[in-house]
Amino acid sequence: MAKQSLKEIIKLEYQKCAGDPIYFMKKYCMIQHPVRGKIPFHLYEFQERTLDQFAQHRYNIILKSRQTGISTLTAGFSLWKMLFNQDFNVLVIATKQEVAKNLVTKVRVMNQYLPSWLKQNTVEDNKLSLRYSNGSQIKATSAAGDAGRSEALSLLVFDEAAFIDKIEDIWVSSQSTLSTGGNAIILSTPNGVGNFFHKTWVGAEDETNTFNTIRLHWSVHPERDQSWRDEQEVLLGPKGAAQECDCNFVSSGDTVIDPQLLTFYKETYCQEPIEKTGFDGNLWKWEYPNYNKSYMISADVARGDSTDYSACHVIDIESATQVAEYKGKLDTKDFGNFLVSLATEYNNALLVVENANIGWAVIQQIIDRSYGNLFYMSKDLKYVDVENQLTNKYRAQDRGLTAGFSTTSKTRPLIISKLEQYIREKSVTIRSTRTIDELFTFIWNGNRAESMRGYNDDLTMSLSIGLWVRDTALRLRQEGIDLTKQTLGGIGAHSLDVGGMGFGGNSSLEDDPWKMKVGDSHEDLTWLIK
């Protein structure tokens, strides 16, 4: 048998590397170890399995423990694609430019130590990008809404995706270029639930999207044992260790409400409404009005931008049970009319409206409708006596009261704390999946509780307001929530005349909550609920 020439050997070896990323990486890739310097990239079995899945699936999402070498593995896979394909374009996006640059640096180091016959000539090399003579390139960038929009992408990499702001916008903007056959790798440790990374992972598990899931728990690493895990808990704390080691969505993140509690609520209390009504189908009802019960409605008014919603909850005062909920987009006049009609339908419910910004326009509409059971508060947070509130036996201007609820830097932490207390003690029954899903994305941003970027907290804030008012104004100075017939019970008996609304035994057109008098005629408001 003739001895192979060096040229033939190299050709066969080149073909073998081109056909097998595992072989290529194990035999020829070097990495820069922070202590040991330049060392061969010895792949663990779980890394080889991951590479196989990279090669088999267009879209991969990786839920990983810390220090599993997956960023380095992704760099090696990117290099392999760039070397053996013409015009292969890789874009790396991370929370910060420096993080994304690290992956480009790994590619640069690996390429630098390759034998000459494997290398591509570098025609462009800077800190944030590399371009080879075959047209392949890799770029690094920080998160921005238009990142990837104009790129002809072959591979999109999201590094630590759960921590990237505006990632949903970036993903949407990249679809036009990825749709022609591009690949995507989304990798991250968890960062709570409800964000893009979590929703994409859950969708992949439920097979509602096309991502392939790869879970890399700390235990997949052959050099780690329970003592290592225990050490991480000492270093990082229980929450940090759950996030960085255990691939635990629920225990990770910095949600205001304990995610395990929210999971309990979703599994125990949440149910489909008995009716979805309103012109937009966004009024959800779990109970129809019971005339032996007393209700309150707490409402948060949209600021007016495209991402904000007006929302309200109908709450059974005595049991603190959510009986109805609305979240949608109505202008201030229609939302005011809607609230008056809904409140009247639910036994002339105490109507609590957040009065910031354009909330005043909604409140004015409620006043113009002569609704008598509107909530007032004083600027010093000393709430008006409920009995006087309900019987309207005061002049608000004489008592220094303000219509509606004022959310300020002083009241905001108080109402959120009250919400957390109610849920922690399981003192409130929340039936809406919309509300629970919002709470999953309601997080601490520094010292401020707010929704994650790209999410809403309209239902959260309206519920917080409602529970605070129930627990404060309706306690009647620490006397509990045993509301007497003298206060709210009279409404259920159809005997209380509130602000001239005429709730007695006789029924007329004026008693119809879905009719508004305009001059000598009546405007039909039923379009709001049909």
pLDDT, tens digit, for every residue of 210-223?
999 999 999 999 98
Are the CB atoms for 89 and 180 separated by under 8 Å?
A: no
Q: How far apart are CA 260 and CA 240, in angstroms?
A: 16
Q: Is 176 exposed, middle or buried (0-12, 13-18, 19+ CB in 10 A)?
A: middle
Distance between CA atoms of residues 530 and 525, nearest Å: 9
CA distance 406 to 166: 30
- pLDDT category at 527 given cuts 50, 70, 90 is low
Place of tokens 């008006």: 384
Query: Over 90: is that where the pLDDT of 391 sits?
Result: no
Residue 385 has pLDDT above 80, yes or no: no
The more confidently predicted of residues 452 and 421 is: 421
| 274-432+458-500, CATH topology level | Nucleotidyltransferase; domain 5 (3.30.420)
Q: How far apart are CA 344 and CA 373, in angstroms?
A: 9
**In the block, residue with structure tokens 């690290």:** 102
Distance from C-alpha of 175 to C-alpha of 149, rounded to nearest angstrom: 8
* Contact residues for 303 (Cβ-Cβ < 8 A; gap 6+): 357, 358
In whole numbers, what is the pLDDT of the chain averaged over residues?
Answer: 82
Q: What pLDDT, on the 0 to 100 scale, is given for residue 348? A: 93
CB atoms within 10 A of CB 273: 17
pLDDT band at 408 (very low <50, low <70, confident <90, very high): confident
- Measured CA to CA, the distance from residue 244 to residue 189 in angstroms comes to 6
Residues 459, 432: contact at Cβ < 8 Å? yes
pLDDT of 172: 86
pLDDT at 302 over 50: yes
What's residue 455's pLDDT?
80
* CATH code of the domain made up of 6-244: 3.40.50.300
Q: Which position has the higher pLDDT, 360 or 194?
A: 360
Residue 514: band (very low, low, confident or very high) from pLDDT cuts 50, 70, 90? low
The arithmetic mean of pLDDT across residues 245-262, rounded, is 79
User: Residue 398 pLDDT more than 50?
Assistant: no
Confidence of residue 28 (pLDDT cuts 50, 70, 90): very high
What is the spatial distance between Cα 150 and Cα 377, in angstroms, rounded to a whole number?
53
Mean pLDDT of 22-48: 88
Q: Looking at residue 184, what is its pLDDT? A: 94
Any idea what DSSP says for residue 489?
I
Predicted pLDDT of residue 139:
92
Res 477: pLDDT: 36
The strand pair at 122-126 and 129-132 is best described as antiparallel
Residue 423 CA to its chain's centroid (Å): 19
pTM greater than 0.75 (yes/no): no
494 band by pLDDT with thresholds 50, 70 and 90 = very low
Residue 1, pLDDT > 60, answer no
In terms of phi and psi (left: phi > 0; alpha: psi -120 to 50; beta: otherwise), the region of 63 is beta
Please tell me whether residue 248 adopts helix, strand or coil conformation: coil
| C-beta atoms surrounding 167 within 10 Å | 25
285 by Cβ neighbours in 10 Å (0-12 / 13-18 / 19+) ranks as: buried
* Whole-number Å distance between alpha carbons of 88 and 95: 24
Tens of pLDDT, residues 329-362: 999 999 999 999 999 999 999 999 999 888 999 9
CB-facing half-sphere around the CA of 102: CA atoms within 13 A: 15
Q: Which two tokens stand for residue 444?
A: 């601490």
- Helix, strand, or coil here: 353? strand
> Residue 354's pLDDT is what?
93
Is the pLDDT assigned to residue 500 strictly greater than 50? no
Q: Are 340 and 393 in contact (CB under 8 A)?
A: no
107 φ/ψ sector (left φ>0, alpha ψ -120 to 50, else beta) = alpha
Terminal CA-CA length for the chain:
87
322 band by pLDDT with thresholds 50, 70 and 90:
very high
Domain with CATH 3.40.50.300 in the chain: 6-244
Domain with CATH 3.30.420.240 in the chain: 274-432+458-500
CB 371 within 8 A of CB 465: no
Amino acid type, 238:
P
Joined together, the tokens standing for residue 24 give: 């290529």
